[in-house]
Structure 1
């Protein structure tokens, strides 16, 4: 056997593809590792975004708003608020009270027919319209009452039942002249010799003539129909 057949001899020509080592596993890219690590959180975030998009799509358009006049502080009945006592606030138009005022000038300097709490809307029935009553079915007229002390507890906005006392020559019960008359104003005493006290009342037009006639005859008195400030108290003066 020749030397070429020994184990130490150089190998002969190779048949078939050369042997190659197995490739190293591919390294995962960093952004894929981040996605794999936070896939649950990202799925929850995507779901939240989808829900928000649906809510925005079905949500109705914002309700239109407009300014209304409200009291800037507590105001008593009969007072005449100034510009600093009133303010404008925005409110949805669907919630505006009937007859609400929309400008400070509509109520500034006008007597209030009832008290107002801070933030309460100012409506047309809360202010005494200058120059006359609030509607065509009523009129305002003066009436003098016999008891000045009794009249002193009244304020604009109060409602009274006006009664005419019987004449001395015809004794009997007092007669109802006007039910639920509105006290518009209580003029200050002038110091004249006239007895009693004067009130400006708003009454139905049909009752005005009878009240005017009674004011020149038997003495007038009243019963309380409604106080705008609650029960009578010494602080009303």
Structure 2
């Protein structure tokens, strides 16, 4: 009991900590509010970027490509294509055929030794270069055949076996002179000589013999291979 006769703490200064109100919450920066508002969209974007990074990492390197010459439309054997008949397309270099041509001028105006389908690559063996053989071991020379009508069915690229028939005063079987000669060209008949002329590509080893028999024997041929398949009624 205090001297005043009442219970309780004596008057005087308080010894406990003073009472303070709780501080007001601090406002978040604007960028945090933006992140909080779009957190789901940002999470989806991050996941998409991660997936894209994985795809790019495992995707194989694109194969190198190069331009090759192809037929712009179906071309028959023996035809002489112009610029509109040919086109350049890009193909993977690993798929380029051996001897493929890379410029339109390489096949423009020269006879085809075989038919070409639209989009088929043009290779060096599909064009008959006038004045020059395909193989260094061969030569090109003219040969006159007795039967002009028989020669008329031939065209550049055909392969024939050249035969020499004996002169009428010495009958006997025909003799094989050149097996599988390539017809390079069939010049237009002038009417000044009998028979018909062919420009042939033949091996060097038989060129001299063919030139020797051409003056005293009658030349004929057998079909070794038509470049266009079976004999057609009109091969022009």
Q: 1:20 maps to which residue?
A: none
Distance in 1 of aligned mates of 2:49 and 2:172: 84
Which structure 2 residue ranges, 5 or more long, are not aligned?
Answer: 1-35
Q: Is the counterpart of residue 219 in structure 1 residue 184 in structure 2?
A: no
Q: 2:208 maps to which residue?
A: 209
Distance in 1 of aligned mates of 2:191 and 2:164: 25
Deviation at 1:148, TM superposition (A): 1.0
Distance in 2 of aligned mates of 1:54 and 1:119: 37
Distance in 1 of aligned mates of 2:126 and 2:59: 38
How many pairs were matched up?
201
> Is the Cα contact below 8 Å between 2:70 and 2:120 reproduced in 1?
yes
Task: List aligned pairs for 1:11-90, cutoff 5 A.
Answer: 53-90=53-90
Task: List aligned pairs for 1:86-235, cutoff 5 A.
Answer: 86-192=86-192, 194-235=193-234
Deviation at 1:53, TM superposition (A): 4.3
Q: Deviations over 1:132-160 (max 9, x none)?
A: 21232111001111111111111100000
Distance in 2 of aligned mates of 1:230 and 1:142: 25
Q: 1:9 maps to which residue?
A: none
Q: Deviations over 1:3-29 (max 9, x none)?
A: xxxxxxxxxxxxxxxxxxxxxxxxxxx
Which structure 1 residue ranges, 5 or more long, are not aligned?
Answer: 1-30, 36-41
- For residue 125 of structure 1, give the secondary structure of its aligned residue in structure 2: helix
Deviation at 1:49, TM superposition (A): 7.2
> Is the Cα contact below 8 Å between 2:130 and 2:185 reproduced in 1?
no
- For residue 131 of structure 1, give the secondary structure of its aligned residue in structure 2: coil
- For residue 211 of structure 1, give the secondary structure of its aligned residue in structure 2: helix
Q: Deviations over 1:150-209 (max 9, x none)?
A: 1111110000011111232332221110000000001111021x2111110000111100
Give the structure-1-normalised TM-score: 0.76
Q: 1:13 maps to which residue?
A: none
Q: 2:8 maps to which residue?
A: none
Distance in 2 of aligned mates of 1:78 and 1:150: 17
Give the structure-2-normalised TM-score: 0.77
